Structure 1
Amino acid sequence: MSTYSGWFVAQRGHPSKALELRTGLPIPTKIPKGHVLVKVLATALNPVGHKLIAVVPNFVLGGSHRVPEHDVAGIIVDPNGSHFNTGDKVFGTSKWVGTLTEYAVLPSSCLADVPPNVSAVEAAGMGIVIATVYQGLVEQAHLKSGQTVFINGGSSGVGLSAIQLAKSMGCKVVATASGKNKDTLLSLGVDEFIDYTQAPLVEQLLSKPREPKFDVVLDAVGLPDPALYLNSKAYLAPNGTFLNVGVYPNSLTAARGALRQLSEGYVRPSWLGGVPQKCIWLSVNFGTKDMENVRDLVAKGAVKPMVDSVYSFDRDGVMKAYEKMMSKRAVGKVVVKVAEE
């Protein structure tokens, strides 16, 4: 019997304590309808991954049989009657099936063919961030050529993708990051760079009146500081859109407090201190059409996947990958290479 290895969330806590590598697992031979068997080549970590491992009780997310992470690139082993063929190289994102494993049974609807101009390592990190950016900027905020978008967290995976997509659409981009990442963002075409380490971000924005104001604010940092939205009347156009695509803080208490402030700011009338601009907390879809949109954007060069670092599938490599992700210093995606292409 052919076997494989995979990482599982054995308990709640820090990845070094919570994750365990299990070996000798039988490769599935009975695949549910609508699913395919994928030999995983690489998987990318996402900021919410380690937060779920640390904060959410294990039984809530499926118990000790849960595999972490959801971005993947791999090869179809069993197409199971889908539109794929054996040997097809695919990428995608599954909301419910973990991908930090050598083999995964995934819904065929969450996968698309890897574009010819990227490697499996690059493709592994495309699904979540580029789908998030496209659905946020294009489908929700209706960003148009000539408009100005402000991107908070420009060096994150979402931020880097958002910068590239906005520039490909003919938009002006203002983005934040720490000073060490200034050259990277400018190389992608950022028109104005703001170093958030020099002074509180909102303080910097309020000190320089904006005319015209931003048409879209995309916050890839999110709940840790709701001040960006609560003060947005000063720099977001009256008919503009505030997109929140950031992740939750490290504690449930902090998350509840930030959510309360955001909610109060949104529902209060402006004369009571409310914020009149539209605020969207983006919920991203990962269906066939969504992955095809991602593939097409990458294939035509509108967005190039950016990889910060690549780690091995063994314990040392996976733990180093999570440490890099948790350091908040990654510029682009943190990828675990599971197998050779």
Structure 2
Amino acid sequence: MTPIIDGHNDTLLAATSDRAGGAFLEETDDGHLDLARAEEAGLAAGIFAAFVPNEGEIDDWSELPPAVDPERARRIVDEQFETLHEWAEATDRFRVIGDIDDLDACLAGNAVGGIPHIEGAGAVDPELVNLDSLYETGLRSLGLVWSRPNAFAHGVPFEHDATPDIGPGLTDAGFDLVEACEDRGIVVDLAHLNAAGFWDVAETVDSPLVVSHAGAHGVSPASRNLTDEQLDAVADSGGIVGCTFGTAHLRPDGERGKDAELSTLLDHIEYFADRMGVEHVGLGSDFDGATVPEAVGDVTGLRDVLDGLEARGFDRAEREAIAAGNWRRVLGEWWE
């Protein structure tokens, strides 16, 4: 079975809140992802995001939510990372990935691996005084924003028929954070970042550009999706885009319904491959964080995605690259 690396999930949030899912070590039909279903799907590793929920409901997704309180953010991130480590301590079927050797062991079938990630840098002190301690607790990938602004960067609202070209670029603290992450081998993830911030990072790092979960703006003109110019920059850097499974960013009409066909997801992967080359395409499901096509359903539907790529003419080497090889290469470049 071809092993798979998935570039983004929100299963830690589900496990530490009252959202559906959460019983990761138990066999369950809740949510999108648990250990048993991950093993069934051939999921070798995933980037597990620590995420700080908004306070209160979002009535208008086209409006940016307010920044989160830093102390609250640090407490929640600590709790979610602690949960990830507790899973690894409870069973040898799951491990926390800290380096490329850990990832390779998971690709070899030794365990399902979780790469600790923070989605939105609100838990990082603006003076970066806690970045090293976060690294020590496992942080290996960091998304600068989750749409809402913070001390480092600005995100994009969830709008359709809109572009990511909104708002200013990185703050001075944001440039410092990007450079500090590259120095330490912490992947800088550009998902949710606005266009000005994207280009600031592109001009700052020498490492490959990484967008963990997004769609193609040329297929679905959502503000969260990447324009052709951004895709070209990712390819030129040797980077990767993990194709989101979130229907609101897959469907050309911007609707969130899970009745989207599998072909809608495959259209984005094929667009990425045609524009950037297969070697820059990965998977970034957003399991437990988005509405995914019913044709995928949950993590076990990853096999159907690979079968769909085969039906579209992607050969075995191309499917293996999209499934895991491209993520392995890019993560290795950042970490090594």
TM-score of the alignment, normalized to the shorter chain, above 0.5: no
Of the two, which has the highest radius of gyration?
A: 1
TM-score (ref. length: structure 1): 0.31
